[in-house]
Amino acid sequence: MVFEGLNSTDFDAFEEKKWSSHAFNRERLEVKLKLTALGKELAKEIEPELPGQEMGLTEERPSIFNQHQVRDLTLYFFRDEQARRALGGILDKSKSIADNVSDPAFHHRHINLGLRVFAGGVEAGLWLHRNAWVDWKNVVQRCQEYWERDKLSELLGGLPPSIKYSRVGGVPEDAHSANSVSPEEVLENFDQAEPWSFFGEALRRSEPVLDSVELIDRLASVFALLVPLHSFIGWRRDNDFHELKEVIKEQKEKAKVKFSALQVGDEVRVMKGLATGRLGVLESIERKGVVKVRIGTIVIAVNVDELGKP
């Protein structure tokens, strides 16, 4: 499919009366196919400036992943599988099993560039969910030094007025331009965002650019403006301001020792995730740090550090 734009029918797929109904899955699937084509075009623009990003799309069907309501569809670019795997154990430890069940969305846990399509139009930019605490704490720690805070102030001040800042899960009409926001406003109480902190543009459904191939260039330009801010905030091995590299290294060493002691056929107990507490049999060893466990008739893949003794 070639992306040619979004029309009124696409936005109508997210009317409130349709959120919980499977009768409108086909309508939403049509939008998802368009977003897939759009994402492939945007990926070409993002990769050179922000390498190591992977594209994802939210579910078009009501399910556990969206609390059984499809209020919108989100196309996002976040850290790739290798980087997510390195942070997986750290992120899991910060949330209870109940929290992980109530909000299992991967992209909520990582800084991302993306856009959401909803009944009112499109919002596109840099998204930080309150659950993306590794990235939030990274920038908070970085800005403990006044010169780093000054850098953040320069990044914000250099954004055009069209880039808005919001912490209310959307972009209200009276949202402030990001270039008028202070670093203190961005950094304070990051874990109380409701639930998103957002830098970007809101395009109302009546704007002609949405129903045009020109939307690709418009969104690519928004993302390009926000790449420096993404790079400043987001945790990476070369942007590590709360010293996670040593924690990750320690976890790998523990997993290596545990992995070498396991054999196919061993009885094990799952210690994390939805199957916590269940006994199973080691079915296979897939790759370093990952195994498959049979629990009754079901086989699940888990990290080796999520297993314990029977």
Residue 72: which CATH number? 3.30.930.20
Lowest mean pLDDT among 145-159, 216-230, 240-254: 240-254
Is 188 inside a domain boundary? yes
pLDDT tens per residue, range 288-297: 668 888 888 8
Q: Are residues 229 and 264 in the same domain?
A: no
Is 249 inside a domain boundary? no
Check pLDDT > 60 for residue 282: yes
Q: Are residues 153 and 34 in the same domain?
A: yes
User: Number of folded domains in the chain?
Assistant: 2
Q: Are residues 148 and 278 in the same domain?
A: no
Check pLDDT > 70 for residue 14: yes
Is 240 inside a domain boundary? no
Q: Are residues 149 and 54 in the same domain?
A: yes
pLDDT tens per residue, range 244-278: 555 445 444 444 444 456 788 888 888 777 677 78
For the residues of 42-82, what is the DSSP string, one character each?
A: HHHHHHHHS-SEEEEE--SS-SGGGTT----EEEEEEE-HH
Backbone angles phi, psi at 181, to 5 degrees: -95, 140
Q: Higher-confidence residue: 221 or 89? A: 221
Residue 265: which CATH number? 2.30.30.30
Closest CA to 123 of 132, 114, 131: 114
Q: Give me the domain span that covers residue 40.
A: 8-233
Q: Higher-confidence residue: 208 or 284? A: 208
Q: Are residues 154 and 301 in the same domain?
A: no
pLDDT for 194: 74
Q: How far apart (Å, rounded) are the C-alpha atoms in residues 93 and 259?
A: 20
The packing angle between helices 215-233 and 25-49, to 10°, is 60
pLDDT tens per residue, range 34-83: 999 999 999 999 999 999 999 999 999 998 888 899 999 999 999 998 88
Q: Are residues 37 and 72 in the same domain?
A: yes
Q: Are residues 41 and 179 in the same domain?
A: yes
Longest CA–CA span in the chain (Å) reads 62
